Amino acid sequence: MLEDRQIIAIGGGGFGRNPKHNKIEKYILSQIDKAKPNILFIPTASGEDKNYIINFYSCFSKLECSPDHIIFFQRTLRLDSLINKADIIYVGGGNTKSMLAVWREWKLDILLKKAYLKGKILCGVSAGAICWFEQGVTDSWASNLNSMQCLGFIDGMCCPHYQEEKERRPSVHKMMKEDKLISGWSIDGGAAVHFKNENYHKSLRFYDNSNVYFVSKSDKKVIEKKQEITQL
């Protein structure tokens, strides 16, 4: 029996800010039927920030799993071996555009697609959330928020940090009115969206008052639909 294809997109927060906050991390681990799953961290978007990697191990080493990580800016181990070993792949936040450029040079994007189709769970926060969608709203450019094409494993767009950064909501609305952004998901920090087999499964909240919205356009008007949410 084939495993469900699963993606969990996190709008912000989690171990990167506080490794003691592990509600969403526990939820991710609970989605796989294995006593001690292998979880692989990919911190490319942060420039492989050492403190970020330390926080990853500080969080997941205390949970029932075996953590590991990929680096590109020192000697890189065989990517196919690391990906094949992993049950869960967690992508960190940072610069989405630079991250995808590095991945494509190393053909990691192809390995990730194969891993996804085999039923390995893909997840991530911020850049690590939007990368799985057709389009993402990103601050990879310093000047202003932009939309960019991403990997397209999930239809639609994704905007993280929706309530955390004041320019996010008006920028999404403006880009959608100008037909620069397709319909999709806006996710607050402290919230996440879980997809199974490319279909919406559920919305999750691990910070109080965080929400998830499906944002679309009808008759030149932008419509936000707040999703029912599960509190972790």
Distance CA 99, CA 159 (A): 17
Which of the 8 DSSP states describes residue 110?
Answer: H
Does residue 148 contact residue 178 with C-beta atoms inside 8 Å?
no
Give the H/E segment covering residue 224: strand 221-226
Active site residue 203: no
Please name the residue that has the structure tokens 């205390």. Answer: 62
Q: How far is CA 39 from CA 7, 27, 68, in A?
A: 14, 13, 6
Sheet holding 199-205, edge to edge: 66-69, 38-42, 88-91, 121-125, 6-10, 191-196, 199-205, 229-231
Strand 6-10 to 191-196 pairing = antiparallel
Distance CA 146, CA 142 (A): 10
Task: Give yes or no: 210 in active site.
Answer: no
Q: Which positions ≥6 away from 220 have C-beta within 8 Å?
A: 177
Q: Which of 46, 69, 126, 194 is catalytic?
A: 126
Of 69, 147, 161, 203, the catalytic one is 161
Q: Collapsing DSSP states into helix, strand and coil, what is residue 166? A: coil
Residues assigned a catalytic role: 126, 161
